[in-house]
């Protein structure tokens, strides 16, 4: 039996994106520190992938035909764990141990400890190569799963990303889908100030990839981008460059360099939860703190 890709309503996906953000805030408080803003930027992407797009069997995490997901920007695992728990890969109460001594759930995901994690990550620049290997394996074993790799924009400065991009283009891995969470910031500043990553369409295009560029917070746009992905293993690898806002959903975190890692406590915690529960407001760059 092959579970089909879902067709979930927009409002459900919006709720799931909200859930990813609130869980990130809750789990960060357990740890005393968390990657808020990098997770907020990819909340809609993660929600759409896991609840609407990917072919999964949570009761059978090693199902060989499942779609694969590699969180190359491993520091956003805090937003992925709650999704996996919610889908039934493990008991959500396990997340109450997040980052505590002996927990299965660390800041960066360990595939040997967390059901539903398809590959361990944390060292930036590796995930696309893992995806190349998964896509090659699908070809060698005649399987039709798809491999999704979530990349940060800052990690595009890692040389190995381009070794992987080049090989995916050369091998024609159409079953490989890279998603770039283009949130504009790396730790020390705006990406284009620290190290140029644009023009991203041209860069991936030159390596033989089919490129789409969308608003990564517009769930309909994300869904349409996924719907345009071709089926079949052989052709051009696919990249979706998702323009996002780092820290999206909490006004004082949006495009702020202060919240790559942070810790909300007390009234600040409560206020952020209230803000998130209210749902996304239109993004207003001029309101930047």
Partner 1 sequence: MTKDMQDESEIFRGTTTGSTRLRDARSVRGTPKAGMPAFVLGEELADLADSDPRIVVATADLASANRTNDFRDRHPVRFVNFSIAEKNMITAAAGMASTGLVPYVATFASFAAILGAEAIRTDCAYPRMKVRVIGSHSGMSMGFYGSSHHALEDLGMLRCMADLTVVCATDANHLRAILRASVDHPEAMYIRLGRGRDPEVYPSVPQITFGKAARLREGSDLTIITCGSQVRASLDAAELLAGEGISVRVVDMFTISEMDRDEIKAAAEETGAILTVEEHNITGGLGSAVTEVLIDLPRCKFRKHGVPDKYVEVGPPAALYAHYRLNADGVAEVAREFLSV
Residues within the interface to partner 1 (CB under 8 A)? 64, 70, 110-112, 118-120, 122-123, 126, 129-134, 136-138, 140-141, 143, 159-160, 163-164, 166-167, 171
Q: Indicate the DSSP class of residue 4.
A: P
Cα gap 132→163, rounded to integer Å: 10
Compute the least distance from the CB of residue 141 to partner 1, in Å: 7
Compute the least distance from the CB of residue 244 to partner 1, in Å: 26
Compute the least distance from the CB of residue 195 to partner 1, in Å: 19
Nearer to partner 1, 111 or 194 (CB): 111
Compute the least distance from the CB of residue 193 to partner 1, in Å: 27
Tokens 């609407």 belong to: 52
Q: How many CB atoms lie within 10 A of CB 12?
A: 14
Cα gap 191→157, rounded to integer Å: 9
Cα gap 44→182, rounded to integer Å: 13
Question: Kind and range of the H or E element at 244?
Answer: none
Question: Kind and range of the H or E element at 43?
Answer: helix 43-48
Nearer to partner 1, 113 or 190 (CB): 113
Nearer to partner 1, 5 or 143 (CB): 143
Compute the least distance from the CB of residue 97 to partner 1, in Å: 21
Question: Kind and range of the H or E element at 189?
Answer: strand 189-190
Contact (Cβ atoms closer than 8 angstroms) between residue 69 and residue 150: yes
CA 233 to chain centre: 22
Cα gap 26→49, rounded to integer Å: 22
Compute the least distance from the CB of residue 33 to partner 1, in Å: 22
Nearer to partner 1, 77 or 136 (CB): 136
Nearer to partner 1, 203 or 223 (CB): 203
Cα gap 201→210, rounded to integer Å: 9
Compute the least distance from the CB of residue 197 to partner 1, in Å: 19
Nearer to partner 1, 59 or 64 (CB): 64
Contact (Cβ atoms closer than 8 angstroms) between residue 39 and residue 21: yes
Distances from the Cα of 133 to the Cαs of 130, 150, 181, in angstroms? 5, 15, 21
Two tokens, residue 33 = 């520190």
Nearer to partner 1, 164 or 221 (CB): 164
Phi and psi angles of residue 198, each rounded to the nearest 5 degrees, phi first: -95, 160
Compute the least distance from the CB of residue 253 to partner 1, in Å: 29
Nearer to partner 1, 159 or 266 (CB): 159
């Amino acid at each position: 039996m092959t579970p089909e890709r879902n067709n979930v309503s927009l409002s459900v996906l919006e709720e799931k994106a909200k859930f990813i953000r609130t869980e990130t805030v809750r789990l960060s408080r357990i740890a005393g520190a968390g990657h808020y803003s990098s997770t907020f930027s990819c909340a809609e992407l993660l929600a759409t992938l896991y609840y609407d797009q990917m072919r999964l069997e949570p009761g059978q995490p090693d199902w060989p035909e499942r779609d694969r997901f590699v969180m190359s920007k491993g520091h956003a695992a805090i937003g992925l764990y709650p999704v996996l728990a919610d889908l039934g890969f493990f008991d959500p109460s396990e997340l109450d141990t997040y980052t505590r001594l002996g927990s299965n759930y660390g800041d960066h995901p360990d595939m040997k400890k967390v059901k539903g994690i398809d590959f361990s990550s944390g060292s930036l620049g590796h995930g696309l190569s893992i995806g190349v290997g998964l896509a090659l394996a699908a070809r060698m074993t005649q399987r039709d799963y798809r491999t999704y790799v979530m990349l940060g924009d800052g990690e595009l400065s890692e040389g190995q990303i381009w070794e992987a991009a080049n090989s995916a283009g050369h091998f024609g891995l159409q079953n490989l889908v890279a998603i770039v969470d283009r949130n504009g910031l790396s730790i020390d500043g705006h990406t284009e100030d620290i190290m140029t990553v644009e023009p991203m369409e041209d860069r991936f295009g030159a390596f033989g990839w089919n490129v789409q560029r969308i608003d990564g917070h517009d769930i309909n746009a994300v869904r349409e981008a996924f719907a345009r992905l071709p089926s079949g293993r052989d052709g051009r690898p696919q990249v979706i460059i998702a323009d996002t806002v780092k820290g999206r959903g909490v006004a004082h975190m949006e495009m702020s360099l202060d919240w790559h890692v942070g810790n909300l406590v007390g009234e600040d915690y409560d206020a952020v939860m209230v803000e998130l529960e209210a749902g996304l407001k239109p993004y207003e760059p001029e309101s930047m703190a």
